[in-house]
């Protein structure tokens, strides 16, 4: 089986989520054999490609046209690379980029795609995939018919792979000017934060509707996170209310995470929220309501007012 990983560059590194995709690829090799290759597309990716080659032989498609991830151009490029490399299995990370561009590539490759895979298994000589549905309420094993199979790896289900030693970097030959280009990138507003991303942080301090203002959220949730080197998360209700930034949303339709510690403060625990964090190693909750559903999914709970408990925690840590 020929496995092609579509990796994302993050500066001079391989993005964390892509390293989780590499782990999924290694699990496939363990279950059924195969060779792993990595492809990186972008502008100015030499350093990231070198970093990627420490995991598996790496192929690059580098051009100024790829400075922004427009889905039509990227999707067509990914499909062409998969065909050129003769991939039987294409694996990408379940990031917004993966969902946007790789799904489009999957359609060009015949439409066999498994989103957010959490496990794979060789059953009677055929590779099958596990994924969750219905807001994490159901785990399903699915068979993928057709070739290549395109899979996105749910980041929280796989530890990021560790490098194993430098291999080769090879430039791909694709006519980039001929790729579709009907989507125009205008601008991006990226968040300005020194905190670890919510999908990568070992500790996530998460705040919900209990916080009255964005200032309170930043001072208390942000402050506690900074105190212990954690990332910040939030419920959708807090994002909707303008209290927490978009990128922080944890849940079925936000980020799905599994940190070592998830501390949910002033979050009730709606099913859509639980879908994003219930596989965290340790879950703790602070809530004024002893009957908040989140408590049923937590290891520890403190019944207290967030506005009093958080300053006290910051002082004692």
Partner 1 sequence: MKILVPTKRVPDPDQPIHLNADKTAADLSGIPCIINPFDAIALEEALRIREEERSQAGSDIEIVAVCIGPQACEKEIRIALAMGADRAVHVVSDEYIDSWVASSLLKAVVDKEQPDLIIMGKQAIDADNNQAGQFLAHHLNWPQATFASEISFEGDRVKVARETDTGIENVSMTLPAVITTDLRLNEPRYASLPAMMKAKRKPVDISTPEDLGVAVEPRVEIISMETLSAKRNCVRVNNVDELIAKLKEAGAL
Mask for 22-41, x = binds ligand FAD (CB under 6 A): --------------------
Handedness of CA 177, 181, 184, 189 (dihedral sign): negative
| Residue 188, Cβ density class (10 Å: 0-12 exposed, 13-18 middle, ≥19 buried) | exposed
From the list 8-16, 37-45, 158-166, 282-290, the region that binds ligand FAD by CB under 6 A is 282-290
Contact between 289 and ligand FAD by CB under 6 A: the answer reads: yes
Contact between 249 and ligand FAD by CB under 6 A: the answer reads: yes
Residue 184 CA: distances (Å) to CA of 63, 72, 95, 104, 105: 16, 10, 21, 16, 18
Look at residue 289 and give the partner it binds from partner 1, ligand FAD, none, a contact being a CB closer than 5 to 8 Å depending on partner kind: ligand FAD
Nearer to partner 1, 164 or 193 (CB): 193
Name which of 70, 71, 110 is nearest 87 in CA terms.
110
User: Within positions 215 to 244, which residues make up the interface with ligand FAD, using CB under 6 A?
Assistant: 235-238
Phi then psi for 86, rounded to 5 degrees?
Answer: 65, 40
From the list 60-68, 119-127, 192-200, 285-293, the region that binds ligand FAD by CB under 6 A is 285-293
Taking the alpha carbons at both ends of the chain, their separation in whole angstroms is 50
Per the DSSP assignment, residues forming a β-bridge with 113 are: 150
Nearer to partner 1, 151 or 169 (CB): 151
Contact between 131 and ligand FAD by CB under 6 A: the answer reads: no
How many C-beta neighbours within 10 Å does residue 194 have? 5
Q: Which of 48, 77, 267, 313 binds ligand FAD (CB under 6 A)?
A: 267
Q: Which residues bind ligand FAD (CB under 6 A)?
A: 133, 208-210, 235-238, 249-254, 266-268, 270, 272-273, 276, 286-289, 292, 305-307
């Amino acid at each position: 089986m020929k496995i092609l990983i579509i990796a994302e560059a993050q500066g001079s590194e391989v993005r964390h989520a892509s390293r989780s995709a590499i782990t999924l690829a290694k699990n496939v090799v363990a279950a059924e054999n195969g060779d792993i290759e990595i492809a990186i597309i972008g502008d100015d990716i030499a350093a990231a490609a070198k970093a990627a080659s420490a995991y598996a032989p790496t192929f690059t498609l580098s051009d100024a046209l790829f400075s922004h991830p427009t889905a039509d151009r990227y999707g067509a490029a990914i499909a062409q690379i998969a065909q050129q490399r003769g991939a039987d299995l294409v694996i990408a990370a379940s990031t917004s980029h993966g969902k946007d561009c790789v799904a489009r590539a999957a359609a060009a490759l015949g439409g066999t795609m498994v989103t957010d895979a959490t496990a794979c298994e060789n059953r009677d000589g055929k590779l099958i995939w596990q994924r969750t549905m219905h807001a994490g309420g159901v785990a399903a094993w699915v068979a993928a018919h057709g070739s290549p199979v395109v899979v996105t790896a749910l980041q929280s289900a796989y530890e990021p792979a560790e490098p194993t030693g430098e291999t080769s970097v090879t430039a791909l030959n694709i006519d980039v000017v001929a790729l579709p280009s009907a989507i125009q990138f205008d601008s991006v507003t990226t968040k300005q934060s020194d905190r670890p991303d919510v999908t990568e942080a070992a500790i996530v301090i998460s705040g919900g509707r209990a916080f009255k203002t964005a200032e309170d959220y930043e001072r208390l949730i942000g402050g506690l996170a900074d105190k212990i080197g954690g990332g910040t998360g939030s419920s959708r209700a807090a994002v909707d209310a303008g209290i927490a930034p978009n990128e922080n949303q944890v849940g079925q339709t936000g980020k799905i995470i599994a940190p070592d510690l998830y501390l949910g403060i002033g979050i009730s625990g709606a099913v859509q929220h639980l879908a994003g964090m219930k596989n965290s190693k340790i879950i703790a909750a602070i809530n004024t309501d002893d009957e908040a559903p989140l408590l049923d999914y937590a290891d520890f709970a403190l019944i207290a007012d967030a506005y009093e408990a958080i300053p006290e925690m910051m002082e004692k840590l």
